[in-house]
Structure 1
Amino acid sequence: RNPHRSNEQQLILHRALNKVMGVDLTAIPTIGIDTALVLASELGADLSRFPTSQHFCSWLGLAPPTRISGGKPLPGKTVKVINRAAQALKQAASIARNDKSFIGASHRARLTRMDTCCAIKATAHQLARLIYAMLTKGQPYVEKGMEEFEERSRDRQLRALERKARKLGLQLVKAA
């Protein structure tokens, strides 16, 4: 939020963005009006030039590298993409650490298993996929909440434990 703008100016900008883009990008947690303005100016509302969200994320420079073998990057130069929209999404992703939403919870989970710059890039990639879906399908963003993330995480951990138990010839039993 720009401290030099009044609430009335923020509201006018918000309405204009919704009209131009066709959807409310600020409904996504961590994306404010300033970020949405950058995205609107760089992308526009028509993303038909990108056949899939993977193409869109690759153009932004947020797609994971494909030159990986055995979990390690292969030697060679990576293509550096400097893009204002990607920079805005990375900035929005870095704010996600303190956000009490599904995106914030998934970002904090990423921070536990990877370094900060990779986690920010991965969260920006998640935001880019959401934006692509919103702009191409015209559907509003629906917040899932931290409870949804924690439930998915619990289910994933339970499935992993069941796989490990089967591999060891054991069977899990729920405690009463």
Structure 2
Amino acid sequence: MKAKPQEKNKRATNHPTQHHWHEMNRKQRRETMRKIQSEDLSLEVIHPDAAGIDIGNESHYAAVPPSRDSQPVRCFGCTTAELKAMAAWLQQCRIRTVAMQSTGVYWVGVYDILEQAGLEVYLVNARDTKNLPGHKSDVQESQWLMKLHTYGLLRNSFRPSQKIRTMRTYWRQRNDLVQSASRHILRVQKALTQMNVQLANVLSDISGVTGQAIIKAILAGERNPHKLAEFRDPRVQASEEEIAHYLEGNWQPDLLFVLKQEQDGYEFCQQQMAECDRQLAQYLQQREDRSQGAPLPEEKRKGRLKKKSGNKPQFDLRTGLFRMSGTDLTRIDGIDVMTATTVIS
């Protein structure tokens, strides 16, 4: 009765293609490597027209089956012309699918060129291709990728379409600018604190209307705390007297210089964010309208209506997303328009 499980395990060992390389344990990987290197016929060929590329900074090594070319491993540079030459060589060798590792950002240019040439590209995690015994050269690595891909042992990573990637580029650039602006504001607050200008004690956000007006007045040469307090916005809870009490500073030229530098950096980030908003709005307007003429659901939830805008884009992003995707993700509790944009991109 115990022979059946053993027989079952034996059958499973003879068909390693049922599992991806990263799903195997060490023993299974050693056995699979032995079969691959000995070209064991018990391994099922999934991708007969497969190639492997070892991605590098200055050069890339591409490997094809030995029967396809007298020089099955070739080295190509990283320029666009050489990448196109690599794609042409792979097509000449009747290659249909290519596997390569996601090394840094060097793979992006290779991926795009091969995709444009009509080749299927498998982008794999380097952790899923390790365990090749001995010292690995670039030639061995490309051949190893080709063999793993030939037997269907690699898992392809998801990469969205070019339309989504374009939107993601704009959105990530904007998020980077938001973070940079936040760092500038922190350094502005530090410079003010070092001069004993305790503006943050009476204003919850020095990047708001009142805070920015006071900082610009300080940089323009105003030192009178009562005149600075006159820039108070009516919505601020603290009175002018309270604000003036915290604006009597110990002014120092070096810290004023730092304050100006950081304020200029913050304003520059704001300008760059505005440019990103214009570019993103234009891009969303050019996308296909998938709403099919359906109206955007009206937002009636009080919590959403009262929520501060913060760093939201200066255009109707919710309408643009609804037009592009055909659905309003903000109807889901916990997902605002900023989160919805991150999910889509």
Shared fold (TM-score greater than 0.5)? no
1 or 2 for the larger relative contact order (CA 8 Å, sep ≥6)? Answer: 1
The structure with the greater share of residues assigned to strand is 2
Q: TM-score, normalised by structure 2?
A: 0.17
Q: TM-score, normalised by structure 1?
A: 0.30
Highest Rg: 1 or 2? Answer: 2
